[in-house]
Each structure stands twice: as C-alpha cells, then as structure tokens.
Amino acid sequence: MIDFSHSEILECVKRALAEDIGAGDVTSTACVPVERKARGAFLAREQQIVAGTELLPLIYAERGGVDDLRLLKLSGACAASGEAIATVCGRARTLLECERVALNFLQRLGGIATLARRYVDAVAGTGCKVLDTRKTTPGLRRLEKIAAAAGGVTNHRMGLYDAILIKNNHISAAGGVRQAVENARHAGLPIEIEVRTRVQLEEAIASGAMHLLLDNLTPEEAREQIRWIAGSAKVELSGGITLENVRTYAETGADFVSSGAITHSAPAVDISFRLDLD
C-alpha cells in the first residue's frame, strides 16, 4: 500500500489549492447556487497506469468535504480508455473549484506511472531493476517518486540525506576515489560511487566499494566493465538511457539502470472530469 499520509504531501495539496482558488472561485460563486448538489466522474481518456487517486480525499477535505467519494482505481492499477477511476458526489461548487487541481495531480502522476511501467516492461526477464532519480519537479519529489513506484520502478534515494552517492565532483573535492570512500564510511549510510575510467573503477573496488555507478557508457563498454567487475560490486548504469535502449543496457548484466526521463520527461495522461446534477 502506497503511503499518501506524509505531511509533505498534505502541504503540497494545500499549496496547489491556494494557488488555484486564492480568495475564492468567482466563476462558480457567480453561476452556481450554493445549495446545488452534483456528481462527477474522473474518466481515463487513454489507457494508463493510475497514480494519485488517493489524493482526492485530501483535496476535497481541504474544501469542506463531499458527501461520497469512491476511488475505483488505486495507484498502480491499469485503466482502459473510457474507464472511470473515481466518482464523487457533493456540493457542485466544491466539485468545480477542486476540478483543476485534482486533474493536474492525476494527469501528472499518472503520466509518470505510465512511463515507469513502460520502462519496467521493457527490461522484463533481464533481472535488472529500473531506478528513478532526483530529477523531479521542485516541491513534488515525494509524489513523483510515489508515482514512479506505482509504475513498478524502484525508488533510488529520496534526497541528499538518506544515502551517499559519491559523484565525479565529490571525488575531485575529496582528493580522489579512495579518500572519498574512506571519508564516507564514517557516515554509516549506504555508499555508491560513480566511476568514469578503468583507473577509478579499479581504485573503487580496491577501496571496498560495493555499489558502483557507471555513467555515460555505451552498452558494449558497460558490458566489458561489468565482466571485469565480475560480481564484486553491484552495478548501476546511467546516462543516455531511454525507453528505446533500456533493454540493451539491462542485458549487459547490470543490476540497475536509472533514467531521469521517468520523472522529468513523462507526458501527462489524458483524464477528464464529467459533472452532472445529482
């Protein structure tokens, strides 16, 4: 079960509603009688992996609640074109003022989950796991990583605080691969190190590194390096990995492949909200 109860998520919902509604929905207030009740349905307009329907109770609660809300598809479920993913009944004004914010979340998160599933399907049977990255929309990382997980991707570190990833600039600042690894051990956190040359790779292995990031290699170069590593460390491949070539990279023997495109370039899925009088 994916957890949507984190305080960051509630804050994100509040900000989104405040951004859109501001002092009030002047159109709905002017046009719709205050006592008018309505029902609405969120409809998938294309086949997709659903993500974010669990936000709907939070959205409506912030605007006074609704009479009935049914989540027909939870995050990770597949929805066919024309299928309802959620239905709601309540004050027409509430449904109207929450419509855009709800759709923005569902379309954005569903787009990430749908693209994530395509990556996962592309590497099926290889034994290689697909990872997401920190290349997320500022302020939406937790939600976007939830969406990636809903699509079947394995979440990489959440931020700079929960795992160590020593990259090229860290190596330069620390004074070399060996020094960087030795310094990092004192933190007591998982350590991964990026290596770009055979010399760095050999030094990382000699330093006891157990998780290596090989960046911007061709599949042939990656296969050669992985053959040399021979299982002495876990290997992640990154850089230039796309939906079109991800299987080729996965078949090199890597344990993981990562792609920033899953979160930074996912197209929104098509979802509509249809409202009728109750």
**Range 263-277 average pLDDT:** 97
pTM of the model: 0.95
Average pLDDT value for the chain = 96
**Cα 3 versus chain centre, distance:** 14
Same domain for 195 and 128:
yes
User: Exactly one of 36, 167, 196, 223 is catalytic; which is it?
Assistant: 167
Same domain for 207 and 108:
no
User: Does the pLDDT at position 157 exceed 70?
Assistant: yes
**Range 94-98 average pLDDT:** 98
User: Exactly one of 194, 203, 236, 255 is catalytic; which is it?
Assistant: 194
Same domain for 38 and 95:
yes
Same domain for 197 and 66:
no
Same domain for 224 and 247:
yes
User: Does the pLDDT at position 278 exceed 80?
Assistant: no
Return the percent helix, strand and coil in the chain, to nearest 5.
Answer: 40, 20, 40
Looking up tokens 């609660």 gives 61
User: Does the pLDDT at position 2 exceed 90?
Assistant: no
Same domain for 243 and 127:
yes
pLDDT band at 85 (very low <50, low <70, confident <90, very high): very high
Domain of residue 251: give its range: 122-264
User: Does the pLDDT at position 275 exceed 90?
Assistant: yes
- Give domain status of residue 101, yes or no: yes
Half-sphere exposure of 134 (CA within 13 A, CB side): 8
CATH number at residue 185: 3.20.20.70
**Range 35-51 average pLDDT:** 98
Share of the chain above pLDDT 70, in %: 100
- Give domain status of residue 73, yes or no: yes
pLDDT band at 148 (very low <50, low <70, confident <90, very high): very high
How many separate domains does the chain show? 2
Same domain for 82 and 114:
yes
Report the distance separating Cα 126 and Cα 8, nearest Å.
35
Same domain for 134 and 79:
no
Q: For this structure, is 167 an active site residue?
A: yes
pLDDT band at 201 (very low <50, low <70, confident <90, very high): very high
- Give domain status of residue 1, yes or no: no
Beta bridge partners, 274, equal 41
- Give domain status of residue 127, yes or no: yes
Same domain for 270 and 188:
no
- Give domain status of residue 130, yes or no: yes
The enclosing H or E element of 198 equals: helix 198-206
Q: What is the pLDDT of residue 19?
A: 98
Q: For this structure, is 255 an active site residue?
A: no
Beta bridge partners, 44, equal 271
**Range 197-225 average pLDDT:** 94
Same domain for 256 and 139:
yes
Same domain for 143 and 102:
no
Report the distance separating Cα 147 and Cα 151, nearest Å.
6
User: Exactly one of 36, 37, 118, 135 is catalytic; which is it?
Assistant: 135
Strand order of the sheet with strand 68-71?
A: 68-71, 84-91, 37-44, 271-277
Same domain for 255 and 134:
yes
Q: For this structure, is 135 an active site residue?
A: yes
Report the distance separating Cα 256 and Cα 57, nearest Å.
35
CATH number at residue 60: 3.90.1170.20
pLDDT band at 1 (very low <50, low <70, confident <90, very high): low
User: Exactly one of 62, 202, 215, 270 is catalytic; which is it?
Assistant: 215
- Give domain status of residue 146, yes or no: yes
Q: For this structure, is 100 an active site residue?
A: yes
What are the φ and ψ backbone dihedral angles of 114, each rounded to 5 degrees? -65, -45
